Structure 1
Amino acid sequence: METVTENISSILMTTGNDTKSQQLPMEAVVLVSSVWSLIIVTGAIGNGLVLYILFRFGERSVTNVYVINLAFADLMFIIFVVPATLIHIVIPTWILGDAVCKLSTYMIYVPLHATCLTLSAMTIDRYHAIVNPIRSMNWRSAKVSSFISLGVWAVSISISLPFFLFPRVIERAGNEGILDCNVMWPSPEWIKATTLAVVMTTFFIPMTAITICYGCILQHLWKGNKMKRAKPENEAALPIKDDKHERQLRRKKRVTRMVAIVVFLFALCWFPIHLIALWLQFDPNFPRTDAMHYVKLFGHTLSYANSCVNPFVYAFVNEGFKQAIIKRSPLITKLCKCVLKEKQKKDNGNMIDKSVGTRPNI
């Protein structure tokens, strides 16, 4: 059977023949190394802080479980993928061995699938929290979301197995002594099939489901506001009996907004590299020029950056998360007063429908 060598980056993420065949100028290497190093440090500290706060001080609620899942997936990506790729950018030959080649390639797709499935689960949870709050009370629990999260990782580990079995360190064609970490597919058809499968499972299908869910949520909220405006004046003037319900709804809307921002940033950061992957595999006239080489590097950088932005979303959008950091990390508070501004509010918003500043009952 014919063996096809396929560079990892031509599917999605890492470097190899397709990117390293064009040697980067020293200025570009320094710039890419600096930016990626910043991503590694920021992502590791940010996601580590999220995990520490939620495990140490957060309550075990539905959204909290999913946020922990997202932070863990981002942390795994930052630890296993970006450093190995950065080393290969700086050093033209692959020096990390066959085992790291397999692991770093595999760990591109496991956290990526886990992130997409978790975002889908979070969005579906937000849909039921807003549209079916009563009927979903029995199964919208931390226990159920924990089992769903375990299922997410089981599916992600299983569906990504080909990217552990087929990577191999080989000598670059025409460059004796230069090694690359490549995926060795059994046939040419596998290249296009895996590219399309990855884009479908990690972008198109989850983004379609998420868009549909948010469309239904917006439609439900619009109808609710329309009915509220249509209430008779005498009924509107009565004492508010459902003030607690209104506060809960506002809290759910804030959490829904936070999830929407996280989803939007994911789509924004990953769309370019998915588009380039499809273009590369399905267009025989794909421009293999210096300019496109830099465009691909920018796409890689943008997708890497997605793994370090979510903690900033929590810090900017979520008051409960701010308060937890303020109480437990005074140094960070002093350094980031513009973001972590302490506020005392009776109805303090948070990312999990409950305060993260209290010690969970485990």
Structure 2
Amino acid sequence: MRMSENSSLLMLGSQGTSMNSSSNSSVSPPSADWVAPTFTRAAQFRVVATLVLFLFAAFSNLAVLISVARGRGRRLASHLRPLIMSLAVADLMMTFIVMPLDMVWNVTVQWYAGDAMCKLLCFLKLFAMHSSAFILVVISLDRHHAILRPLDSFDAKRRNKRMLLLAWSLSLLLASPQLFIFRVIKAEGVDFTQCVTHGSFQQRWQETVYNMFQFVTLYVVPLLVMSLCYTRILIEINHQIHKSKGGESCLRRSGTDMIPKARMKTLKMTIIIVVSFVVCWTPYYLLGIWYWFHPQMIQVTPEYVNHILFVFGNLNTCCDPVIYGLYTPSFRADLAVCWFCRPQDSSPKSLDRLSARQGNPSAEQESDAPSVDQMRANEE
């Protein structure tokens, strides 16, 4: 038996040295025929791929954070800035905690950082994953309120701050058990030390219950809330379209818009961000569920499958800034300024003129992205 990797869904201690290894859960110490895990070719691919994602995610998410905090992104609506910044911070936590920890742990195979770091890093790892999911929930709830209750825009900033505080607090709370269940264990009779949950659960079903609880709070509940929000949004949009066709009056930003263009643009952006989260992480979660209920599958599943799915999940951290850039001309302008070392345009006819105006409650500021026609007019 090999005591090395936590192949469970939550990657609570995943080091990816060998998919033939058992979970780092409540297993007995290695027997006489125990073989120490090695830094396999598949694990080497995982490290290289994760390093590439780390470099891209670090640069792109830092660029988003700087743009919103100090660049043209400051012209975003005041209630949207904290959402985008929180998403960038959550992605940076995934980038600077989850990815480096996974890479180093794969290379070293064993755990050399001591018991305190074992507990702390496993806690931070799950905290980063929860915060990333919960921030997406907050963004979805904000879009839901903006579309279904557009006249309540003046309270959006305070409401979003409360939701963000709740999201970060829940992330801390749900990740805190990691500080108690993970510990450093030295295998008997061999020179091998690992950060594992061995001894924290009396029975395997107890660990399964814990993992399932984390899975529900990390993935199922956020997915249900986001699905409900966007389903109601689409129903409302469809309802407004039918009202318009039936000749009924409805709130319009212009004579041709059912919903303000900037608001629709932000809605499309957030939908794609949520879809990328679901697409990237669902395969890895499904593999984890399969393992929980059929532990023997770890003996027959090729090692590279776990590695590929983990790398694919981390791709989500790179997708968020790309999607934001595609829908936000101001971010692209900030990148151009940085790339060509040009001074920022501080004129009133800046690229980032907001689509909404103060004093008009029905035209809530939703995005810093002007329409294509406005961009072309400004450039000309």
Q: Which bin holds the TM-score, normalised by the shorter protein?
A: 0.7 to 0.9
Please state if 1:225 is matched with 2:236.
no
- Structure 2 residue 338 is matched with structure 1 residue 329: yes
Would the aligned equivalents of 2:64 and 2:88 in 1 still touch at CA under 8 Å? yes
Counterpart position of 1:246: 257
The one-letter code sitting in structure 2 at the alignment partner of 1:169 is V
TM-score, with normalisation over the residues of structure 1? 0.81
- Ranges of 4+ aligned residues in structure 1 off by more than 6 Å: 343-349
Partner residue, 2:14: 15
> Which digits, 9 at most, give the CA deviation of each residue in 1:152-182, with x for residues without a partner?
11111011111122211222467x1122211
Where do 5+ consecutive residues of structure 2 fail to align? 22-35, 343-349, 357-364, 371-380
Question: After the TM superposition, which of the residue ranges 306-315 and 27-36 deviates more from structure 2?
Answer: 27-36
Q: Which residue of 1 aligns with 2:25?
A: none
For the pair 1:43 / 2:57, whether they are aligned, the reply is yes
Q: Distance in 2 between matches of 1:8 and 1:287?
A: 11
Contact 1:81 1:105 in 2 (8 A): no
Report the Cα distance in structure 1 between the residues aligned to 2:237 and 2:187, rounded to whole angstroms. 57
What aligned pairs does 1:82-101 form with structure 2 within 5 A after superposition? 82-101=99-118
**SS state at 1:180 partner:** strand
Say whether the 8 Å CA contact 2:262–2:369 is kept in structure 1: no
Cα distance per residue 1:193-230 (max 9 Å; x no partner): 11111111111111111111111111111121122233
Q: Distance in 1 between matches of 2:261 and 2:311?
A: 36
User: Counterpart of 2:260 in 1: which secondary structure?
Assistant: helix
Q: What is the DSSP-based 3-state SS (H/G/I as helix, E as strand, rest coil) of the residue aligned with 2:109?
A: coil
Q: 2:311 aligns with which of 301, 309, 317?
A: 301
| Contact 2:330/2:351 (<8 A) preserved | no
Structure 1 segment 274-293 matched on structure 2, within 5 A: 274-289=285-300, 291=302, 293=303
Tell me the distance in 1 between the aligned counterparts of 2:115 and 2:185.
9
Contact 1:43 1:307 in 2 (8 A): yes
Deviations 1:256-288 (A, max 9, x none): 111111111111111112111111111254242
Matched, 1:56 2:73: no
Relative to structure 1, the CA distance from residue 29 to residue 285 in structure 2 (aligned partners, 3 Å threshold; closer, same or farther) is closer
Would the aligned equivalents of 1:20 and 1:89 in 2 still touch at CA under 8 Å? no
Matches within 5 A, 1:1-362: 8-13=6-11, 14-16=13-15, 19=19, 21=21, 23=37, 27-57=41-71, 58-59=74-75, 61-134=78-151, 136-141=152-157, 143-172=158-187, 176-184=190-198, 185-188=200-203, 189-231=205-247, 242-243=253-254, 246=257, 249-289=260-300, 291=302, 293-326=303-336, 328-331=337-340, 353-355=366-368
Q: Is the 8 A contact 1:39 1:305 kept in 2?
A: yes
Q: Tell me the secondary structure at the aligned position of residue 232 of structure 2.
A: helix
Distance 1:187 1:49 in 2: 47
| Residue 294 (structure 1) shift | 1.6
Q: Give the direction of change, closer, same or farther, for the CA distance of 1:356–1:250 in structure 2 (3 Å limit).
A: closer
1:345 Cα deviation after fit: 9.1
Deviation at 1:346, TM superposition (A): 7.7
CA gap of 1:354–1:315, structure 2 versus 1, over 3 A, is: closer
The residue type paired with residue 69 of structure 2 is F
Q: 1:161 to 1:325 in 2, by over 3 A?
A: same
Please tell me whether the aligned partners of residues 77 and 107 of structure 1 are also in contact (alpha carbons under 8 angstroms): no
> Given residue 119 of structure 1, which amino acid in structure 2 is its aligned partner?
L
Which of the pair has the greater relative contact order for Cα pairs under 8 Å at 6+ separation? 1
Q: Deviations over 1:289-345 (max 9, x none)?
A: 351x2211112112222222211111122223223433x423499xxxxxxxxx969
> For 2:7 and 2:50, how far apart are their aligned partners in 1?
16
Match of 1:360 in 2: none
Greater alpha carbon shift after TM alignment, 70-79 vs 5-14: 5-14
Structure 1 200/51 Cα, relative in aligned 2: closer, same or farther at 3 Å? same
Amino acid at match of 1:145: N
The range that moved more, 189-198 or 25-34, is 25-34
Q: TM-score, normalised by structure 2?
A: 0.77
Counterparts of 1:206 and 1:107 in 2: how far apart (Å)?
Answer: 19
Q: 1:243, 1:128 → 2: CA distance?
A: 21
Contact 2:118 2:182 (8 Å CA) reproduced: yes
Percent identical: 21
Do the aligned residues in 2 keep the contact of 1:92 with 1:178 (CA within 8 Å)? no
Shift of residue 71, structure 1, vs aligned partner: 1.0
Contact 2:4/2:194 (<8 A) preserved: no
- Relative to its length, the structure with more helix (as a share) is 1
Structure 1 residue matching 2:144: 3-state secondary structure: helix
Report Cα offsets for 1:32-60 as digits up to 9, x if no partner. Answer: 22111111111111111111111113146
Q: Write the distance in 1 (CA, Å) between the matches of 2:252 and 2:102.
A: 58
